[in-house]
Amino acid sequence: MTELLTKKEIRAYYDRLIHKPGYIISLKKRINDAKREQVLTYAREVNREAVLRIERENGFFHPVKPYNFPPCPLSTNLVTLPNGIKLDTFTYKDQLKYWIVTSGNVIRILEGNVKKKLKNISTLEEACKGEKELESLKAWFIKMGFCDPYTLVWSTEKKGAKQSLSGYLKDLCKKKYSVKLKDQEIKDIAKNSFGIVISIDTIKLADPGINTIPLPAYTDD
């Protein structure tokens, strides 16, 4: 019987894939399929638990049990400003978004190394026609201040953030960044690449014209 990974080993491999995606090459040589499946199962578990909790934060009721998430660099410690006001450096919601995005990245890395089959697009990387289109789009979103420059987590500070992101994603094909996307694919991209959960109803109603700052068309300059 094949010896399986310990919980400590699973977390160690998971953490390496978060910070160095290219480690998958070494991982394939280091551990067998059964052990890689253990790491993939853990990543899916982290993702599921984070999604449930962020939906609770947004008003949905989900019974959850205490869960020990992986380390998160986004601290929720209080900081005191010179005027005496105390602020959280990051919120619990920020942490949940971090876990959704990073676990989603690990899932895609590991799933990408199994036999490929036709499936729905679920990330911005899969949607874009190429690396240039992807990098151009990410750079524009960051320049406009719509998302975090490191994690791409979409900012929800302004009202209508979900409608805004839905509108931009619907506009990607017309502006020559991506293939045409289905509503479910937009929902998956929003969750996996931007750390935000959007309902299908919101996506169906979203119109690219809702955004006062239009998405520029892609040009290969």
Compute how many other C-beta atoms are within 10 angstroms of the C-beta atom of residue 2: 7
The verdict on residue 111 lying in a domain is yes
For residue 98, the model assigns a pLDDT of 92
- Where in the sequence is the domain holding 187, given as residue range(s)? 118-221
Q: What is the mean pLDDT of the chain?
A: 86
Residues 217 and 124 both lie in one domain: yes
CA atoms lying within 13 Å on the CB side of residue 193? 21
Boundary (domain end) residue, out of 85, 116, 147: 116
In this structure, what token pair is assigned to residue 195?
């750390």
- Do both 127 and 173 map to the same domain? yes
93 within some domain: no
Which sign, positive or negative, has the C-alpha torsion 79, 82, 83, 84?
positive
Is 7 found in the same domain as 110? yes
- Position 215 scores a pLDDT of 94
Low-confidence ranges of the chain (pLDDT < 50): 1, 114-118
CA proximity to 106, closest of 198, 7, 19: 19
Please say whether the beta carbons of 121 and 163 come within 8 A. Answer: no
Is residue 88 domain-resident?
A: no
Give the pTM.
0.52
> Do 135 and 27 share a structural domain?
no
Q: What does the block give as tokens for 127?
A: 């949607």
Chain segment 155-188, per-residue pLDDT in tens: 988 888 999 999 999 999 999 999 889 999 999 9
Both 43 and 124 in a single domain? no
With H, G, I as helix, E, B as strand and everything else as coil, classify residue 181.
coil
**Total tally of structural domains belonging to the chain:** 2
* Residues 23, 103, 120, 179, CA torsion sign: negative
How far from each other are the two terminal CA atoms of the chain, in whole angstroms? 57
